[in-house]
Amino acid sequence: MAAKKQQHKIEFTLREKTGTGACRKIRSKDMVPAVLYGPEHKLGLAGMVSARAVAPIANSGARETTVIELAMSDGKECMALIRDVQRHPISQSLRHIDFYQVLKGHKIKVEIPIKVFNKECAPGIKEGGLLNQTTRYVTVEIQPRDIPEDIVVDVAELKLGDEIFVKDLALPEDCVLHTPADTLVLHIIQPRAAVETEEEGTEGENTEVEVVAKGKAKEEE
């Protein structure tokens, strides 16, 4: 199941001045310097956005799959994704953002995160198993309006040894999958300690049988 996300609209104010000094002034006004790239802005369009408005998206785990409607200061509108975020090394405050323009009617390639639900309900977990998630994203080609926040995987009924592959995921309709379908997403495995204990027990039984067998052989001699 794919989780839909809410719509976001942010004002993108064009700017003429660039460079360290200009960016410092922008940040002092609680704004973040930004550049918009894309099919119609191959050289990049310099601007700035409100730090308060963009922070919830930039700080979320789904920032690269969240379509943002940029309201340009020249009256135009543009759909975009966040492609890169620069932060202050100590405070982690936003320093710069790169947006990438997406066009209506044109599919784009994105990585969608995989989110696991009902882990505590899985019989395999209740029996002491461990959930091992080996794939956390799937790459798809999809219309911007159809990009989900994440792909939800319900593991409530998984038992020890059960596996889920990319081909088992409920992906959005009309998307092109780029991750191999036979890629393992997750499985419930038995803890190594339990496996080692079982193996040691089996080895002990075999040794005991072998010793007893040798003893009988000597008696017969």
Predicted pLDDT of residue 52: 95
Predicted pLDDT of residue 213: 46
Predicted pLDDT of residue 9: 92
DSSP state of 19: S
* Cβ neighbours around 3 below 10 Å, total: 13
* Domains present along the chain, CATH in parentheses: 2-103 (2.40.240.10), 109-194 (2.170.120.20)
Give the closest residue to 81 by CA, choosing from 99, 55, 60, 56. 99
* Separation CA 130–CA 187 (nearest Å): 8
* Separation CA 43–CA 142 (nearest Å): 25
pLDDT tens digits along 198-213 = 555 555 555 555 554 4
Predicted pLDDT of residue 16: 85
Residues of the chain short of pLDDT 50, as ranges, are 194, 197, 212-213, 216-218, 220-221
Predicted pLDDT of residue 149: 85
Q: Please state whether the predicted TM-score (pTM) of the whole model is above 0.75.
A: no
pLDDT tens digits along 110-127 = 999 999 999 999 999 999
